A = this chain, B = another copy of it.
């Protein structure tokens, strides 16, 4: 990091903000698991700050829905049950439809170039059976679509729900090479609809994609579940 960059960080970032971001990363990428306690004193030692900023960060994370704070008992990474995950998926599907429609209407050549480059990278990841890379690109593609829809509140609202889902999806995100290939085809179709300006198709494809993801979650949890049955050979998200 250059001196100007370091100076900028020092002047604009407080300890609570930095701590909150780090803890959020740890939660989203699985270093902190649902149900796991977050100990003020241990984190204070680990991160080299006093407990005050950690307490402040906890409040932000609580409001973001990633942790639960119980007076006198401590803070835990929040656990999400299947009912709540279902509810999130239901709302997410509607928002995905909105994202697809708006992105298809608003996108320009630069945006399409970007999405197509992401698809190309995803193709490489599938060829190399690099599941981790594919997962990261998958997330990035959806994030970019939400941003290209051109409504920041929509993007934020979507991201909030997706972050909460991360508490749950990690337990149920199971895939193999066949399902990766299928997922890639779905993403290609979505990007194609968006880049040709077909708002209705883009919306429908993204909504179906979300519903598949939800069905697949149920299949992993309970193969006999009726919702899971609709996910026979669909993509793993």
Instruction: Point out residues on A near B: beta carbons under 8 Å.
Output: 11-14, 16-17, 20, 52, 55-64, 69, 71, 84, 87-88, 90-91, 94-95, 98, 151-154, 157, 160-161, 164
Instruction: Show 30 residue pairs from A and B whose CB-CB distance is below 8 angstroms, ordered by the A residue.
Output: A11-B71, A12-B71, A14-B69, A16-B59, A52-B55, A55-B56, A56-B56, A56-B58, A56-B59, A59-B59, A59-B60, A60-B60, A61-B63, A63-B64, A84-B152, A87-B151, A87-B152, A87-B154, A88-B153, A90-B151, A91-B95, A91-B151, A91-B153, A91-B154, A91-B157, A94-B94, A94-B95, A94-B98, A153-B161, A153-B164
Task: Tell me the number of copies of this protein.
Answer: 2
Given A63-B63, A91-B98, list of 7 further CB < 8 A pairs?
A13-B71, A59-B59, A60-B63, A91-B154, A94-B94, A94-B95, A153-B161
CA–CA, A71 and B87, complex, Å? 36
Residues of B within 8 A of A20 (CB): 59
The secondary structure that dominates the A interface is helix
CA–CA, A69 and B14, complex, Å? 10
Task: Please pick, from B61, B95, B153, the residue contacting A84 in the complex, using a CB distance under 8 A.
Answer: B153
Residues of B within 8 A of A90 (CB): 151, 153-154
Residues of B within 8 A of A56 (CB): 55-56, 58-59
In the complex, residue of chain B having the shortest beta-carbon distance to the beta carbon of A56: B59
In the complex, residue of chain B having the shortest beta-carbon distance to the beta carbon of A52: B52
Contact between A161 and B152 (Cβ–Cβ < 8 Å)?
Answer: no
Residues of B within 8 A of A95 (CB): 91, 94
Contact between A157 and B157 (Cβ–Cβ < 8 Å)?
Answer: yes
CA–CA, A48 and B212, complex, Å? 53
CA–CA, A62 and B20, complex, Å? 12
Q: Nearest chain B CB to A98's CB is how many angstroms away? A: 5
CA–CA, A20 and B63, complex, Å? 11
